[in-house]
Structures are given as structure tokens and as C-alpha cells.
Amino acid sequence: MKEWPLWEVFIRSSHGLAHKHVGSLRAADAEMAIGNARDVYTRRNEGVSIWVVRAADIAASSPGDKEPLFDPARSKVYRHPTFFELIDGVKHM
């Protein structure tokens, strides 16, 4: 019989942060994937919500595109608040 598909697991911690990728596992279907994720990745109160996604359904950027994708942001320093020097005496900004 064929191997169970691979799933990627995302957990949201109780602190209100976004779901975060924590690892992968194999499971026959989504229900089993959530059950296994609960058994392996939330053993010590790591989370309050689980997402599982079939690894095959994830589209990813390719490392070869790193420069065209991410380099343009480098020169745009004005996107950061620290680019703008505050004049003396300004408060709450």
C-alpha cells in the first residue's frame, strides 16, 4: 500500500500570535493529521489551535528567485520609521 501523505503542521500558541509552522508528519487524512499533530506537537501546552496542510498543496518561492523577489526591498529604507529623524521636542511619535 502507498505511503500516507505528508502534512505540514501549524500551531497557534495561547499568546494570540499567528499560527506558526512547527514541523511535518504523515497521516492518512486530515482528521488523523490533526490527531497526530496534537499528540506530537502539543505535548507541553504549546498551542490552542492546529492547522494541517498537505505538503503537496504548498506553493513555495524558489531559491533562484531570491534576488528578484527580495532585493528590491533593500533599497527602500524610507519604508522604516527610523528613516525619518524626529525634530527635537516631538513626543508620542
Which CB sits closer to other proteins, 45 or 82?
A: 45
Question: 48 with 13: CB under 8 angstroms?
Answer: yes
Q: Does 13 bind other proteins (CB under 8 A)?
A: no
Residue indicated by cell numbers 527602500? 76
Question: Could you tell me how many residues of this chain bind other proteins (CB under 8 A)?
Answer: 21
Which CB sits closer to other proteins, 29 or 49?
A: 29
Q: Which residues pair with 23 in a beta bridge?
A: 9
Secondary structure of residue 12 in the 3-state scheme: strand
By CB under 8 A, name the one of 12, 13, 19, 32 that touches other proteins: 32
Secondary structure of residue 67 in the 3-state scheme: helix
Q: Does 69 bind other proteins (CB under 8 A)?
A: no
Cell numbers found for residue 2: 502507498
Q: Does 20 bind other proteins (CB under 8 A)?
A: no
